[in-house]
A and B are shown apart, each in its own frame.
Chain A
Amino acid sequence: MGGRESTLVLLDENGIRCDGRKVDEPRRIMIKAGGLKNADGSAYIEFGDNKILVGVFGPRDVHPKHMSNTDTGILRVRYHMEPFSVSERKNPAPSRREIEISKVIKEALLPAVILDKFPRTAVDVFIEVLQADGGTRCAALAAASVALADAGIPMRDMVAACAAGKAADTIILDVNNEEDQAGQADMPVGYMPNLDKITLLQLDGVLSPEEFKKCVKVGIDGCKIVYELQKKALQEKYFQNRGDQ
């Protein structure tokens, strides 16, 4: 995006962004593991004004049967936005954008999950965006990874995710809706912190090679913040009130 003309000041002379954050400051993030009784694993995330609920089923039988793989389990992801998640009613049918995000989230989770222990089965991840405010794919990916761990799906590492971007010629962490619309670039990053590997990298906008490198670095730093919160969410559910064993 070339940056739309607007009266909005994305970054003032003191280095404060339009919502009062510093350039390297993420929005308020809250993650909760569990919460849905009927799903095998679940998570809820509030990422700024994003509110996303994730449910995981599986490993379970694959329907339709022809999708199953005799060598390994398969991962299926559905990212869906509620009609009331945006200011103007969204048609609940899957849009081109939702199909794309389902695909990139699935591919960002695949390097982490170990499904070869469960051949002929499927793990289904259902992501429902209750309220959207820019950066839903990162928030959804972070929550999906917590929900998968909650379901007990074996994983090499958690997948943390955070966006970085460029607005007012400055590299910023965690792009919000206004900065996404009026800014110059948006780069979602998915990252496995312990293995130090990137599983999702997209870029919408134009960056110079130097800016690109800096943007990736800023994104990874954001992922590390998200990872600590993912860890905290799981610890709260599983290890709280446990005596020292």
Chain B
Amino acid sequence: MDNKRKYVIPGDVVTTGPYRPEQNVILEGNKIISTTIGISEIYDDSVKVISLTGKYLPQINDLVIGKVISHSSLSWELDINSCYVGFLPAQDVFGRDFSAHADELTSRLKSGDLVAARIANSDRTRDPLITIADRDLGKIDSGDLVEISPSKVPRLIGKKGSMIQTIENATEATITIGQNGWVVVTCESHEGLLKAKKAIQMVNEQAHVANLTDQVKEMLESKGES
């Protein structure tokens, strides 16, 4: 792309000068220092580092896959593969007229269930609030869960969704990617399911390889013939 990209580790000076520090960088004097292992990018007025490692931090509006851990009489707690647990209030599922005596929470979601949800609010002073009141959100009834590193989610999606479209088209599978690194794959045929899972694992392991979309395509096609 341009020669402004470089590999950095914590403490490396990305650049000096009047730039706005964005993700994963701090301003120390007039130096902009990377705080993580990653690839630095310098734009016209800002600098950021794309992290190659680390846990998922909830961000408002992210689509995540959660697993129900437990519930109280008013809410569920979901494991969202982060350092915080997701908080799903019962009103969100039952609607406004939810009553703690009349409605039994386990009738809708039991512990162990997978849920596609959106982060409604996250300010780190409290556990992130999540919601399933939207199209395509809610309990996931079927499919296989694949866990990948959250830092590789953008690679799995690809530029304008190219990678995920390649996999979906070749296997006829439906893939739901949570920003937290959990991916649910559903497919009519058993073979397509296995192939899609293998492709996702391949992206996870070889995220740094250039031209990965072509390689994945090749893998998917070669398997189809055999």
List chain A positions with a Cβ less than 8 A from chain B: 40-41, 58-61, 70, 112, 114, 117-121, 149-158, 192-195, 231, 234-235, 238-239, 241-243, 245
Contacts and interface: CB of A to CB of B under 8 A. Distances in A.
Contacts, number: 91
A238 B24 CA distance: 17
Interface stretch (B46-54, B87-95, B105-113, B175-183): B46-54
A152 B9 contact: no
Q: Which of B10, B51, B210 has the most CB of A within 10 A?
A: B10
A33 to B, nearest CB: 9
Interface in B1-54: 1, 5, 7, 9-13, 24, 26, 28, 33, 35-37, 39, 51-54
Contacts of A245: 1, 5, 39, 210
B125 A118 contact: no
**Is chain A's binding surface mostly helix, strand, loop or mixed?**
loop
Given A59-B55, A119-B125, A154-B35, 6 more contacts: A60-B83, A153-B54, A156-B33, A238-B53, A245-B5, A245-B39
A235 B208 CA distance: 13
Given A41-B53, A238-B53, A242-B208, A152 B37 contact: yes
A153 B53 CA distance: 9
Interface in B161-215: 208-210
Given A149-B9, A155-B11, A238 B83 contact: no
Given A60-B83, A154-B36, A242-B208, A149 B10 contact: yes
B164 to A, nearest CB: 21
Contacts of A241: 208-209
B66 to A, nearest CB: 16
Which 6 A-B pairs rank lowest in CB-CB distance, beginning with the nearest?
A152-B54, A157-B11, A152-B53, A155-B10, A154-B35, A59-B83
Contact of A121 (B7, B11, B83): B83
A59 B58 CA distance: 13
B: interface residue count bin: 20 to 34
Contacts of A151: 53-54
- Main SS class of interface, B: loop
Contacts of A192: 11
Contacts of B124: 117-120
Interface of B: 1, 5, 7, 9-13, 24, 26, 28, 33, 35-37, 39, 51-55, 57, 83-84, 124-125, 151, 208-210
Contacts of A238: 7, 9, 37, 52-53
5 contacts: A119-B125, A234-B37, A235-B7, A242-B208, A245-B39
Contacts of B13: 194
B212 to A, nearest CB: 11
A59 B85 CA distance: 12
A208 to B, nearest CB: 33
Nearest to A61: B83
Contacts of A114: 26, 35
Contacts of A157: 10-11, 33
Contacts of B24: 154
